Amino acid sequence: MVKNCAESTVPVAANAERASEREFYFSPRVDIYESEEGLTVLADVPGVTPEDLSIKVENGVLSLHAKASHKNEVRDASYLWREFGHASFCRQFQLPEEVDPENIKAELKNGVLTLFLPRAESVKPRLIEVKVS
Amino acid sequence: MLFREMMQEGERLSRQMDQLFRSGYNFGGFPRFRSASLPGLSVRTYPLINIRDEGEAYKVEVLAPGVNPDSLNITANRDSLTISGERSAPEGALPEQLNRAERSAGKFSRSFSLPTVVDVNRIEAEYKNGLLQVHVPKAEEARPRSIAVAITN
């Protein structure tokens, strides 16, 4: 759906950045899964190159933003059939817990962004030993 | 009696909604992604396509992120084109680990016909950044021709 960037957010903090200019955004479809090590986010961003992509984690909010690749866009009457257009992608998520910002890994392949957000050391499950005295 | 009427009304409404969403990506004058939250609908229309007429050829643009390039298959027959392939599910993710699953996975196939006969032997395709671009030259007899106008007095 076409939405304003900030409005497309899933529960997001009030201090989240608002899109300054009126622009159309697509909300990329995502898969998110969770393991003991952290969260993996997969997002469909077809037509996006690594240079167009910006990923930000700020105050526990993950922001994905990808600039539209207007080089593919042809604005004339030559379209016989049209199902999609080229617009920017934008989506934000409130992260459930602390992530380790130093070790975030991002990979872009075949138009799919794979993002691995490792859990911060402080929130990893810990085994507590019981001392017997 | 009342119950049956209500059921019929509900069914009619759901059919109308279905039609609305299936044809709805273009209202408001801007093309939209169809919603991923409507089960079935997004799957049925994967991948989305744009077709352009470039005079000598058709340009088919296919929005197919996350497809294994080896699985992509294009078949052409006179004036029709079929694009099929497979999109794999996220590797190593157990169902209980999923928080959100909006991207569908599985085999897909989409067929459509073009307005004229095409030159099947000269079709070229390129897959890059999740976009598949197919260059489909028109058959010799279907190409536009300029006709000289003879002037006689």
Predicted pLDDT of residue A19: 47
Predicted ipTM? 0.71
Q: Closest to B103 (Cβ–Cβ): which among A42, A80, A83?
A: A42
Predicted pLDDT of residue A37: 85
Residue A72: strand, helix, or coil:
helix
Q: Provide the β-strand partners of residue B67.
A: B87
Q: Which residue of B has its CA nearest to A2?
A: B32
| Residue predicted with more confidence, A71 or A105 | A105
pLDDT one digit per residue (tens) for chain B, 153 residues: 677 777 778 777 777 776 665 554 444 333 344 444 444 444 457 788 999 998 899 999 999 998 989 999 999 998 999 999 998 888 777 878 888 888 888 888 899 999 999 999 999 999 998 899 999 999 998 888 888 999 988
- Residue corresponding to tokens 């395709």: B125
- Chain A interface residues (partner B, CB cutoff 8 A): 1-2, 24, 26-27, 29-35, 39-40, 42, 44-49, 72, 74, 78-85, 108, 110-112
The verdict on a CB contact (< 8 Å) between B50 and A32 is no
Predicted pLDDT of residue B1: 64
Going from N- to C-terminal start, the domains of chain B cover 46-88+106-142
Instruction: Determine contact, residues B79/B99, Cβ cutoff 8 Å.
Output: no
| Residue predicted with more confidence, A3 or A132 | A132
Assess whether the previous peptide bond of B90 is cis (omega < 30° from 0).
no
Structure-block tokens of residue B2? 């009342």
Q: Closest to B90 (Cβ–Cβ): which among A26, A42, A85?
A: A42
pLDDT digit string, tens, across residues A98-122: 788 788 899 999 999 999 999 887 7
Q: What are the residues whose beta carbons fall under 8 Å from the beta carbon of A3, sequence distance 6 or more?
A: A25, A27
DSSP characters over chain B: -HHHHHHHHHHHHHHHHHHHHHSGGGTTSS--PPPTTSTTHHHHTPSEEEEEE-SSEEEEEEE-TTB-GGG-EEEEETTEEEEEEEEPPPTT--GGGEEEE-S--EEEEEEEE-SS-B-GGG-EEEEETTEEEEEEEBPGGGS----PPP---
pLDDT digit string, tens, across residues A23-34: 667 888 888 888
The verdict on a CB contact (< 8 Å) between A32 and B32 is no
**CATH class of the A2-123 domain in this structure:** mainly beta
* Interface contact B31, partner A, CB < 8 A: yes
- Nearest C-alpha neighbor of A101 from the set A115, A114, A89, A91: A115
Predicted pLDDT of residue B58: 93
Predicted pLDDT of residue B74: 94
* Interface contact B101, partner A, CB < 8 A: yes
Going from N- to C-terminal start, the domains of chain A cover 2-123
The verdict on a CB contact (< 8 Å) between A46 and B64 is yes
User: pLDDT at residue A56 above 80?
Assistant: yes
Predicted pLDDT of residue A72: 58
Edge-to-edge strand ranges of the sheet holding B131-137: A79-82, B48-53, B57-63, B131-137, B124-128
CATH fold for domain B46-88+106-142: Immunoglobulin-like (2.60.40)
Predicted pLDDT of residue A59: 81
Could you tell me how far CA A110 lies from the centroid of its own chain? 16
Predicted pLDDT of residue B36: 42
Residues in chain A: 133
